[in-house]
């Protein structure tokens, strides 16, 4: 009977990881070997503040989850200690936080990940990390949208100023 409970618990764990892989907009896989407890605690704190779930998982469990989620290409990076960051709302944040942390702490190595259902390598994760944050992108969009209105207002003001100087002369 205990065996059935253990097997069911393992299957439940695989199901949880499978659903996280499917629901996440970005998943980043990293090797944390060599980080001390305070460094891991700081990394977890930064990720938690951004709403990102960070877990250390057994590779065999993750392989079963990738098979169920049809992301078996990710299995190539599942060697050695594996920590995974799951983000369901911000595609850039996990890549940015882990990449910035890895720059300051050589022990953290990004292995790869999944971005919107596609398995990507280290280079794509680092490229994603270089993108502006969601707030930065929204700010840029707002600026672009305001430019035509601002230019129109300046043109109207210039015409009004010209007519005003023409009328007073």
* Per-residue tokens: 122: 């280290």
Q: How many CB atoms lie within 10 A of CB 147?
A: 10
What digits encode the pLDDT tens for the residues 43-101? Answer: 999 999 989 999 988 988 889 998 888 888 888 888 888 899 999 888 888 999 999 99
Question: Is residue 165 within a helix (H) or strand (E), and if so which, with residue range?
Answer: helix 134-168
pLDDT-derived band at 18 (thresholds 50, 70, 90) equals confident
What residues have CB less than 8 Å from 57, skipping those under 6 apart? 17, 82, 83, 84
Higher pLDDT, 39 or 144: 39
pLDDT value, residue 28: 92
Whether residue 128 contacts residue 91, with contact meaning beta carbons closer than 8 Å, is answered with yes
pLDDT value, residue 85: 92
d(CA 163, CA 150) in angstroms, rounded, equals 20
Residue 104 pLDDT exceeds 60: yes
Residue 169 pLDDT exceeds 60: no
């Amino acid at each position: 009977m205990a065996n059935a409970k253990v097997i069911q618990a393992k299957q439940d764990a695989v199901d949880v990881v499978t659903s996280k892989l499917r629901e996440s907009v970005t998943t980043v896989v990293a090797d944390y070997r060599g980080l001390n407890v305070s460094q891991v605690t700081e990394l977890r704190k930064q990720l938690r503040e951004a709403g990102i779930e960070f877990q250390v998982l057994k590779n065999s469990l993750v392989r079963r989850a990738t098979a169920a989620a049809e992301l078996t290409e990710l299995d190539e990076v599942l060697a050695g200690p594996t920590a995974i960051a799951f983000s369901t709302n911000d595609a850039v944040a996990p890549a940015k936080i882990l990449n910035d942390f890895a720059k300051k702490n050589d022990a953290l190595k990004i292995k790869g990940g999944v971005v919107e259902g596609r398995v990507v390598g280290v280079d794509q994760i680092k490229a994603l990390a270089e993108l502006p944050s969601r707030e930065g992108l929204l700010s840029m969009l707002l600026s672009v949208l305001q430019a035509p209105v601002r230019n129109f207002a300046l043109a109207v003001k210039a015409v009004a100023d010209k007519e005003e100087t023409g009328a007073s002369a």
